[in-house]
Amino acid sequence: MLGYIVKRLISLAISLFVASVVIFVVVEIAPGDPASFMLGINAQPDTVAALRTELGLDQSKLDRYLSWVGGMLTGDFGTSYTYRTPVVQMIADRMWVSLPLALYALTLSTLIAFPAGIFAAARRGGPGDLAVTGATQLGVAIPNFWFAMMLVLIFAINLRWFSAGGFPGWDKGFWGGMKALTLPAIALALPQAAILTRVMRSSLLDILGEDFMRTARAKGLTERQALWRHGLRNALIPVLTIIGLQFAFLLAGAIIIEQVFFLPGLGRLIFQAITQRDLIVVESVVMLLVFAVIVVNFLVDLAYAAVDPRLRTRT
């Protein structure tokens, strides 16, 4: 197991290095100069040059890349061009919205998908299976931003059970913060639950046809007993993959939902930084999100090895 972990850590480090190079190059070649954008089209050239020097934009690309990477390794993500605030502080403030939102949505998605997928697989071809399959098709087809607006219309405007948007802050109380995140979490969770349900159902149906499942039933177990005792554990590998990918998506891909509900999260921060040409913020936040994705995939790989020890000897 130790050798397996070391190999995965080496792969993680290589992935992070490649990702940092790609992110830096893509952001740097994007059109538009941050200094010119900040000062406006009527700014004098010497004023623009002075601001470029102040922001460190007059350095070579290699020096800026090394400075950026070296700073991140020590916890210094630089200073925002626009707000003149440490980027790490801006990320920390918004992480307290994005991370709980992602975890909340992932929890709802998993709580819906696991029972639904098991229920459908245990009743293959029956009315219950058809109902669950139809519901998942609908869940995958509906855009989450449209679903989010319907939630606001019904539960915020008509019923007035929730606020239409905004975040009061955790200092106003835990339940107040969770209430503000409930509608966004539901909007994010239901489409993901539909995908996860389909994967769970498909994986369980594949396992039910394996020889060891037929052997378990031949020894006297009912189909449901064999499913719970032997099938569920073996069906978890593809499900864990989807859960890992979904967490990364929910953390990094909630930009539209954060815009709909006016949430001060990482997605909205990236959107604002791109429009303001705040390159250091874009690079640092995207790199942080890539790091989260890679680490989640690393943890999923470890979960694979725990569920199926045969994988430790294959790689």
Name the residue among 157, 162, 170, 159 with its Cα closest to residue 186.
Answer: 162
Total-model pTM: 0.80
- Residue 79's DSSP bridge partners are 86
- What's the whole-number average pLDDT of the chain? 83
H-only helix segments in 157-263? 174-208, 211-218, 223-226, 232-234, 236-252, 255-260
Contacts of 263 (CB under 8 A, 6+ apart): 97, 101, 165, 166, 167, 180, 181, 184, 257
**What sign does the dihedral 299-303-306-311 (CA atoms) show?**
negative
SS3 state of residue 255: helix
Per-residue confidence at 108, pLDDT binned at 50, 70, 90? very high
The answer to whether 240 and 304 have CB atoms below 8 angstroms apart is: yes
Residue 221 pLDDT greater than 80, yes or no: no
pLDDT at 314 over 60: no
Residue 193 has what pLDDT? 92
The arithmetic mean of pLDDT across residues 283-296, rounded, is: 85
Confidence of residue 309 (pLDDT cuts 50, 70, 90): low
Return the percentage of the chain with pLDDT > 70, whole number.
91
**Hey, what domains does the chain have and what are their CATH numbers?**
87-313 (1.10.3720.10)
Q: How far is 294 from 248, CA to CA, in rounded Å? A: 9
Instruction: Yes or no: say if 108 and 185 are a contact pair by the CB < 8 Å rule.
Output: yes
Which amino acid type is present at position 254? Answer: A
Q: What is the pLDDT of residues 263-281, one digit of tens each?
A: 888 888 888 888 888 888 8
